Amino acid sequence: MLFGESVSRRRFVRVGAAAAAGAAVGCSPAAAPAPGPAAPSGPGADPTTWEKQWDDLVAAAKKEGTLSLVTTIGNPFQKAVAAFEAAVPGIKVDHTQLIASQFAPRVLQERQGGIHSYDIITTTYGTVPLTLIPAGVMDPIRPLLFRPDVVENRNWRGGFEKGFLDTDKKWGYGGFQEVFQAIWVNSDIIKDGQINIFDDLLDPRYKGKIVSGDPRNHGGGWWPATTLRLKRGEETARRFYGEHGITFSRDQRQMMDFLIKGQMWIGSGAVNEPILEDFLEKGVGKNLKYIAIDELDNLNHGSNVLYCFNRAPHPNAAKLFANWVLTKDGSAVWSKHAETNSRRTDVSAARPANAPNPTRNLLEIDRLGTGAEVEEDPGPGEGLVELTCGLREAPETAHEQRDLAGCQRLRYHSL
């Protein structure tokens, strides 16, 4: 199934079930089984057994010598990968950096040509279950996780099982969690105290001055749009997204450039913080300021949900990385360099300002379940059904990743 092909819910479930039935082990090798160990999983594994198996796994992974890892864009992930290479000498990371919606078409095209290039992806929650799992590209991550210090409930806020975000509790694991900061403003234009609550954003003076990530595309645009709809209702969401002259884009750098230069004053789901780090290192972007809005902010696992590919070229390296990044030491290293917060109880928040705050009433957006359905004329009350026709696309991006034809309407809902 090509990325962007219209997907009915029935087909999504049917294809997903077929993919699940065909996935016997996590990150299965592309050809003959590699000489790695068959590790036990679950709490209570014999420590002496798992330690021997871990040593064997490290040796097998170093024999492969390479890990083919996919992450999102930004310097923080380059630093995190370098830290992994330093922590596990002998394994070189073949690092691909793309946002999930751009990576999905690539991997599907490669699979059609019989190419199996990737081992592990750490990404946002939505694109993999919506696109790559139904296409039969992925294996469950659960069989890979076997170290007692990884699967022990007390080591995780909310317990180990809470990290499995899919209803099958096996495909992807979220070992990191953060507050998604939706609203950023150009502080040269929007002064302190000018915007404090969501209703301030509806002021007519901001009409045509807001840029947003595309709510049809799972990620930065979809998260705040869905959060707003669930918290304030469809009419408020339609008023904000459909009647406020918002410009939509899927190009993160372009949206941030609009904000920095003052072409747009306010961004919703428009600022990618790893990319912001790139801007700041170049001396630009200091005028971008975050404003906390509970109707648009949410809790999610960022770009750090672990998934593994089937027919992986380096299955032992994939298994090693999946466990390492969830250990105390690995989680601390990754959260520090990738600029996120570990869910582990024994790892301090690397970014306290983005850590879950019990005083804020925020939705755990990627725990709601995710599905996509395209209909010609869905009825009222089914989500953001009027946001796909006549959107103000940012210049030069209207043609990019066009996953809907004409005025077909995409609605997201809980499975």
Q: Mind listing the pLDDT tens digit of every residue in the chain (415 residues)? A: 222 233 333 332 333 333 333 333 467 776 544 444 444 445 445 556 899 999 999 999 999 999 999 999 889 999 999 999 999 999 999 999 998 878 999 999 999 999 999 999 999 887 898 899 999 999 999 999 999 999 999 999 999 999 998 889 999 999 999 999 999 999 999 999 999 999 999 999 999 999 999 887 666 788 899 899 999 998 999 999 999 999 999 888 999 999 999 999 999 999 988 788 889 989 999 999 999 999 999 998 989 999 999 999 999 999 999 999 999 999 999 999 999 999 999 999 999 988 888 888 898 887 665 433 323 333 223 334 344 333 444 433 333 333 332 323 333 322 2
Please name which of 374, 114, 401 lies closest in space to residue 250, comparing C-alpha atoms: 401
CA distances from 60 to 11, 22, 86, 372 (A): 39, 25, 18, 40
- Identify the structural domains of the chain with CATH numbers, from first to last: 9-178+301-354 (3.40.190.10), 182-296+389-413 (3.40.190.10)
Residue that the structure tokens 């929650």 belong to = 125
φ and ψ at residue 408, rounded to 5 degrees = -60, 145
What pLDDT sits at residue 33? Answer: 43
**What's phi and psi for 341, nearest 5 deg?**
-125, 130
pLDDT of 393:
42
Burial of 27: CB neighbours in 10 Å, binned 0-12, 13-18, 19+: buried
Write down the pLDDT at residue 219. 67
pLDDT value of residue 47: 56
Distance of alpha carbon 5 from alpha carbon 9, whole angstroms? 13
How confident is the model at residue 272, as a pLDDT? 84
Q: Is 136 left (phi over 0), alpha (psi -120 to 50) or beta?
A: left
Q: Are 149 and 328 in contact (CB under 8 A)?
A: yes
Residues 248/243/231/180 CA torsion (nearest 10 deg): 20
pTM for the model: 0.75
One-letter amino acid identity for 73? I
Residue 1: the pLDDT is 24
Contact 287, 187 (CB under 8 A): yes
- As a whole number of angstroms, the distance between CA 90 and CA 223 comes to 39
Distance between CA atoms of residues 378 and 381, nearest Å: 9
The set of residues, in sequence order, having a beta carbon less than 8 Å from that of 276 and lying 6+ positions away, is 256, 285, 288
